[in-house]
Amino acid sequence: MSLEPHQIDIIGYCAAFLTTIAFLPQAIWSWRTRDLSGISLGMYSLFTAGVGLWLVYGLIIEKWPLILANAMTFALALSILMLKLRHTATEHKK
């Protein structure tokens, strides 16, 4: 396809915008309610690690849509994972 580099970037940024926006409500919900019972620690750890690796991959191949999308999702996912870990630790103490 004969697309200009900036046109290719626009497609990437649209993808980044959509998947980040779709992830936001769950992040905000988890953060607000602190109800993390519906979140699987194992699966969420895999997801967070995966997003972190996508960020590393994006940095190496120097593709800004990948970098921005995954930096934002990684920060949100990591903060929820921390809440979940604290929550799990509290449950164990009971």
Interface residues with a second copy (CB under 8 A) are 1, 3, 8, 11-12, 14-23, 25, 40, 43-44, 46-47, 49-51, 53-54, 56-57, 60-61, 63, 65-66
CA separation, residue 50 to residues 7, 45, 70, 73 (Å): 27, 8, 10, 11
Tell me the C-alpha distance between 74 and 51, whole Å: 6
> 50 vs 83, which CB is nearer to a second copy?
50
Q: Closest distance between a second copy and the C-beta of residue 45, in Å? A: 8
Residues 6+ apart with CB under 8 A from 52: 70, 74, 78
Q: Closest distance between a second copy and the C-beta of residue 42, in Å? A: 9
The length of the chain in residues reads 94
> 20 vs 79, which CB is nearer to a second copy?
20
> 54 vs 83, which CB is nearer to a second copy?
54
